[in-house]
Structure 1
């Protein structure tokens, strides 16, 4: 039993550790950067209901420039000024992809509507697999064929928001470089920091929440195809049950949907869905959770240090990973993680419930087959906790030419409240 717990503790989950990494970055002349790109803003909506389409992927065709919509369907897409013509493809699971001329995009209020897919897929002849576990085995065995096989430098935007009950109390954001190793390599990916900012309402935030370990590594390690050991290795598939769900479609690709569930439920156990391309057996998307009903073991997995008199345990752990395709090769494109945990204090009537939402989206990338990574002080460790930089939130030009995920209205309101609280306390 102890051996199993030790293995689980090394999972890429949102741990807590009291280490603070102070970060700094140079501020370049904002107007010079502003002149180098055009920024287009708008919303992606369901064409029938008008509802926001979250996590929709917008990509400038013929390039690696991309972004995703926030939970309210809003997007911001920055294109270098030298690119005056082109098309942007907008896609999301369950919707028909749409290719739109760059001329259609406006500085503000660009409305894009996506149509749902209503095609009956179960009878389509491309779905020939009849053994779900064997399909997953094939998926894992074809990593070298289907995924990037060169060292790759990725630019990504990372956001981590901490909420206590219904109130946002902390927000950290960063532009990072992911030094991605080939998918067939055993080497771990590295992350270096370009710029970052953070703001927190410390009067509403227990010190526990300030010690969350991992930062962008939590999202990066959810990359199932690069790190199968964190979910299931090829030789461990007998520890799971697999079954087919109704198939679906994305970007005109037909996808198997495979449900999976860990058999042994004595310890925290994984369950979720895999979306697998019917033609190439590539994993296109994964959505999975960790059942944490076993509070004692779950606490050991997540809590590395806590104050005396406090009991901390997770109550909900969810992950999502999306892959993108370019020239027949797939790569990490977007990852999100959500952790809810409860803090019970001795001699306190009510507990405190926290929700930590983090997401990371790759916005640009290039292959670097000959490059050898030389680490410097911008490289992050897995124990990173970003320091505060309140001023960054007041500068609308802070991110410059970097593509980011637009902040939700709830986050924007939270920052305003946090700033007012900080101003009153100074």
Structure 2
């Protein structure tokens, strides 16, 4: 258990389960639509596969020549907010394995923008040209060169963070925040720091079986998925030799040829490690994306990693833990752009016939950044602590003027519907109590 416990002790990616129904003040349920700021234009739309019309999840939408960007949600929808002084720029839409598309900003409408992307077909002859024979050696070289290919200056990033809890398919909790990420150079041993701008939440505790699930760690759950900055959390010293690496298919990203390298722990390794795919730029030897999961080889051991506290007579264990990180490139340097963590839990009550299934998702997208000229990190009292529970810090869905200025990940329709339903139920209960 040496490698996994090291990772999760530092990440603090745990679930707290507290007995009892938590009551929230009525004003925390107030939901207001984000309003368009006077200084920004906003554009809503969707990104789809041009052939099948299926939504493309986690596609990147960015304004060319700027650091402004956003990402599609799990339904392929996006919301892009652009300062009004930018009128004649181009918008670049990209997705893993598809041809990127450049569209003049003037062609975008406030609503209903549908963008279709075509699959990028890679010729077999391209795959075999100068292909290295040792996948593990390529992975090691990629991590060894992170100081050359990734940001080497302190950077101040603006990010949007969201975490959701679902009971089966029903949304029961949503927390969101705009944060500042003080990113240290990739060749520096200093950890990144996070400062909270503003947070909001909405939770329907009536659907939580009198148990409140809370995610501890907040933005750090996603920040530490940046494995180029924190490779020790997955490929710690010596542990990289506990994996088998192999070349899979190849693909293209922004017209670049990408090797897809599959990895999984050796069969002789009993500790639960990881498995997944690394996407490595052929020419630059840079990691552009990684999609991987925890191998849950021991249910009880996995439960001890994630469950901090639970009621008596309840068994809780994770059935799936999955991760994703995407990097972006500007002026020849790559930087952290998006990451997500998804966990699925089973909750088994001793006095109930059926168990409950919950899923928790945390995701963070960098929406803007600038060089941190001073290189200084915020003071300790201003930093977000790694033990933060965001849902306890957030105050409710309010202050639309603030949220209107920031690029956020467009909410899923099911989340919007759940919040409106909660609001209607609260209003009815308030009327009945009068």
Considering the TM-score relative to the shorter chain, is it more than 0.5? yes
Partner of residue 129, structure 1: 132
- Indicate conservation of the 8 Å contact 1:174/1:194, yes or no: yes
Change (3 A) 1:412 1:398: farther
Partner of residue 110, structure 1: 113
Q: TM-score, normalised by structure 1?
A: 0.91
Partner of residue 98, structure 1: 101
1:312 aligns with 2:316: yes
- Indicate conservation of the 8 Å contact 1:194/1:378, yes or no: no
Partner of residue 27, structure 1: none
Distance (whole Å) between structure 2 residues aligned to residue 255 and residue 419 of structure 1: 47
Per-residue CA deviations over 1:110-153 (Å, capped at 9, x if unaligned) read 12111111232453465421110000010110010011111111
- Indicate conservation of the 8 Å contact 2:323/2:341, yes or no: yes
Distance (whole Å) between structure 1 residues aligned to residue 218 and residue 339 of structure 2: 12
Q: Tell me the secondary structure at the aligned position of residue 195 of structure 1.
A: strand
- Structure 2 unaligned spans of 5+: 25-32
- Structure 1 unaligned spans of 5+: 23-29
Distance (whole Å) between structure 2 residues aligned to residue 5 and residue 76 of structure 1: 36
Partner of residue 389, structure 1: 395
- Indicate conservation of the 8 Å contact 2:318/2:345, yes or no: yes
Distance (whole Å) between structure 2 residues aligned to residue 290 and residue 31 of structure 1: 36
Q: TM-score, normalised by structure 2?
A: 0.90
1:280 aligns with 2:280: no
Report the alpha carbon displacement of residue 71 of structure 1 after superposing the two structures with TM: 1.6
Distance (whole Å) between structure 1 residues aligned to residue 427 and residue 129 of structure 2: 61
Partner of residue 341, structure 2: 337
Aligned residues: 415
1:240 aligns with 2:246: no
Distance (whole Å) between structure 1 residues aligned to residue 187 and residue 297 of structure 2: 35
- Indicate conservation of the 8 Å contact 1:175/1:193, yes or no: yes
Distance (whole Å) between structure 2 residues aligned to residue 329 and residue 227 of structure 1: 18
Q: State how 1:238-387 maps to structure 2 within 5 Å.
A: 238-263=241-266, 264-375=268-379, 377-385=381-389, 386-387=391-392
Distance (whole Å) between structure 1 residues aligned to residue 345 and residue 137 of structure 2: 36
- Indicate conservation of the 8 Å contact 1:127/1:256, yes or no: no
| The 10-residue stretch of structure 1 (302-311 or 326-335) with the greater mean CA deviation from structure 2 | 302-311
Per-residue CA deviations over 1:146-165 (Å, capped at 9, x if unaligned) read 11111111111111110001
Distance (whole Å) between structure 1 residues aligned to residue 8 and residue 108 of structure 2: 47
Q: Tell me the secondary structure at the aligned position of residue 48 of structure 1.
A: coil
Distance (whole Å) between structure 1 residues aligned to residue 224 and residue 212 of structure 2: 21
1:422 aligns with 2:426: yes
Over aligned residue pairs, what C-alpha RMSD do you find?
Answer: 2.4
Distance (whole Å) between structure 2 residues aligned to residue 236 and residue 32 of structure 1: 49
Report the alpha carbon displacement of residue 378 of structure 1 after superposing the two structures with TM: 4.7
- Indicate conservation of the 8 Å contact 1:17/1:305, yes or no: yes
Distance (whole Å) between structure 1 residues aligned to residue 283 and residue 262 of structure 2: 19
